[in-house]
Structure formats: structure tokens, C-alpha cells
């Protein structure tokens, strides 16, 4: 039985979330809290397996409560955030402080959208609580860029022409660690699909750009891919690539038509990259729920590209990498701390 503590200043939200979570026989709500101060006290008393934490609350907000919890009684925390740019920035701060993931709520149409988060909320609670990892064995974010390996005096044919990375739960922290270690002279483009709402991907890209030696930006439809730039797929739909000329590859952003479960889709990104780069794609799958990316990684491998999967020991949720590893399509299985080096050495 997974024990959950729900923290929210709204009685309606506390009751609604409790009702939703309690419909699953494997989950039990052991308590609720109206503010961050109550949350800190109840985490110590009730010892829940996981906490859902509102961002904005009186007395003590979710960020301050998270700091105290991580310092005194570390436990996995899921942030519950509104779909606004400001809330996105605060939620990203929470992920830096140790929160494992977030679920979003749309306050403009709460009665409808609160129902839509039920399945994903339960799925995340189960996956994160069963893993039980807060920050154990996870590397620090602040890292210096690594050096590109020397290729000798002669020009070396570069087999890898593009890097495609896919991730979900736990991905923001993992990506921050990897991209902060990529050197400024990285010779190929990086395309990234992180499951994230549209209001979050812009602020997320800006944050990564501030922490990285390479340029990191939210991708725009029709812009050319450039070496040494990491493009974050916007949450409005799915990202892919197309060719206008033999030497010019452009970003494509398409609306969600229901073909893919997750948005932005890792599978669509990788399948699109393989179509135009064939055996020159390096596919990387990081921590996340489900199996998005397994089709794309299989196609990358079948067409002669390279594949890397994050190992179980550092994943917040060992779902997406597990699907790749169990299918036998991972050329390399590596802990998060080694993946930046693996990417650099592959190009």
C-alpha cells in the first residue's frame, strides 16, 4: 500500500485529489495539509511514501516546505502546478530542490481538467513511490563542460550527424546535468523531447540555456537546425525535422492529432530524425514513465545509428529506459553521470 500525503490550501482540491487517488486499491491517503508548515510536520509524523505539494499556499509555500522536507525527512514529492509561465518557473525551482516531478492543473476550467489529471497522477504516484528514490545516487546539477576528444590531425569522418534525446518523469534534472557538461564546440545539433506542458517548455529551455555552455532554446517551426545548439520541443505538439535542401535541415512542429499518447512525442522525434539522417542518429533515452521512444530507438538501431539508455540505478522512474533495454536495442546502458561523456565520445 502506497501512503500519500496531500498538501493544498484549497479544501476542494484536497478533497478532489483524495477522492481520485483513493479509487486505486494500491494507494491510501494517510493525511492532508493546508499549508507548507503543516506539511513539514505531517511528513515527520505520518511518514508517507510520497507527497503531492501545491505551489502557492499561505503560512509557508510549497518551495519552502520542500526545502524543509528534503533537509529533515527526505521523501519523493510531486508538485501540483497551474499552467502559467510564472508557476512553471517556480515548479522548475522545485525540481532543482529535489521534487521528482509535477502534475499540472488548469484553474481556468478546473472542474473538467482536474478529472483529466487522475490517470496520470495515479500513474506517477505509483511509479515514483515504488522507486523510492529522492536524490540517492543522483549526481549534482552544477557541472563544468567536458572537453571534446581530440581527433588527430587528419579530418575524421563524423558518423553521427544529430543527437535525439527523449525523457519524461525526472527528465528536467537529468537534462540539466547532461547539457551543462556539453562543450561549447559540440559539433552536431541536439533535439530533445521532454514530456512537458506548453507553458513549461519555454521557461525550461531558458533555464537550461543559462546553465549550459551550448545554446539551448525552445524550437520553432521552420528554423534550421544548427550544430552546437540544443532544441527543446515545445509542449504545443510534436517536433520533427525535414529537408529543404540537401545541406539544410529544418525543425517541424506539428499539432497533436491523437496518434501519440505523450506530448511532445519521443517516438515521433526519433523516427523523423532517422528518416533524414538514417544511420547518423544517436538516440538517448533517459528516466521516464511508459515506453515512449522505444519505437524510435529501435529504428535508429536498425538503420545503423547508436543508442544509449540511462541505467536503472540513476533513473527517477525506470520505465522508458527499461523498455529499450528489455527490447535489446540499447548499445550502451550508462548511469546519468556518464551519459554526457558517452554522447561526446559518440560524435
Active-site residue set: 168, 195, 292
Cross-strand bridge partners of residue 241: 251
Give the ranges where 73-170 is alpha helix by DSSP (H). Answer: 85-97, 110-116, 118-131
Distance CA 20, CA 18 (A): 5
Cross-strand bridge partners of residue 248: 245
Cis peptide before 264 (omega within 30 of 0): yes
Which backbone phi and psi does 141 adopt, to 5 degrees? -75, -45
- Structure letter (DSSP) for residue 323: H
Contact call for residues 172 and 204 (beta carbons, < 8 A): yes
Taking the alpha carbons of 231, 234, 235, 241 in that order, is the dihedral positive or negative? negative
Distance CA 191, CA 205 (A): 12
Distance CA 307, CA 309 (A): 7
Contact call for residues 153 and 306 (beta carbons, < 8 A): no
Taking the alpha carbons of 173, 176, 182, 188 in that order, is the dihedral positive or negative? positive
Can you spell out the DSSP letters for 31-58? Answer: EEESSHHHHHHHHHHH--SEEEEESS-S
Cell readout for 192 is 530533445
Amino acid at each position: 500500500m502506497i501512503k500519500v500525503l496531500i498538501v493544498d490550501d484549497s479544501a476542494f482540491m484536497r478533497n478532489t485529489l483524495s477522492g481520485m487517488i483513493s479509487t486505486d486499491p494500491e494507494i491510501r491517503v494517510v493525511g492532508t495539509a493546508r499549508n507548507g508548515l503543516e506539511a513539514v510536520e505531517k511528513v515527520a509524523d505520518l511518514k508517507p511514501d510520497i507527497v503531492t505539494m501545491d505551489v502557492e499556499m499561505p503560512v509557508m509555500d510549497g518551495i519552502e516546505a520542500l526545502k524543509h522536507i528534503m533537509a529533515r525527512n527526505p521523501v519523493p514529492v510531486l508538485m501540483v502546478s497551474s499552467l502559467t509561465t510564472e508557476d512553471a518557473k517556480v515548479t522548475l525551482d522545485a525540481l532543482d530542490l529535489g521534487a521528482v516531478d509535477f502534475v499540472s492543473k488548469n484553474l481556468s476550467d478546473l472542474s473538467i481538467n482536474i478529472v483529466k489529471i487522475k490517470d496520470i497522477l495515479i500513474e506517477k504516484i505509483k511509479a515514483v513511490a515504488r522507486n523510492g528514490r529522492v536524490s540517492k545516487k543522483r549526481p549534482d546539477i552544477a557541472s563544468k563542460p567536458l572537453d571534446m576528444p581530440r581527433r588527430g590531425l587528419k579530418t575524421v569522418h563524423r558518423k553521427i550527424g544529430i543527437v535525439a534525446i527523449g525523457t519524461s518523469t525526472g527528465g528536467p534534472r537529468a537534462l540539466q546535468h547532461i547539457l551543462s557538461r556539453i562543450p561549447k564546440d559540440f559539433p552536431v545539433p541536439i533535439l530533445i523531447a521532454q514530456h512537458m506542458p506548453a507553458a513549461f517548455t519555454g521557461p525550461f529551455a531558458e533555464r537550461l540555456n543559462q546553465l549550459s555552455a551550448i545554446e539551448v532554446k525552445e524550437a520553432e517551426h521552420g528554423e534550421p537546425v544548427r550544430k552546437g545548439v540544443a532544441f527543446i520541443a515545445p509542449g504545443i505538439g510534436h517536433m520533427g525535422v525535414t529537408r529543404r535542401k540537401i545541406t539544410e535541415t529544418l525543425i517541424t512542429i506539428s499539432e497533436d492529432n491523437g496518434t501519440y499518447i505523450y506530448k511532445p512525442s519521443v517516438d515521433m522525434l526519433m523516427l523523423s530524425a532517422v528518416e533524414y539522417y538514417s544511420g547518423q542518429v544517436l538516440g538517448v533515452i533517459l528516466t521516464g514513465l511508459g515506453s515512449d521512444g522505444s519505437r524510435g530507438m529501435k529504428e535508429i538501431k536498425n538503420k545503423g545509428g547508436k543508442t544509449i539508455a540511462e541505467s536503472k540505478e540513476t533513473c527517477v522512474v525506470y520505465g522508458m529506459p527499461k523498455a529499450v533495454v528489455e527490447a535489446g536495442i540499447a548499445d550502451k546502458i550508462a548511469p546519468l553521470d556518464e551519459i554526457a561523456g558517452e554522447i561526446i565520445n559518440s560524435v
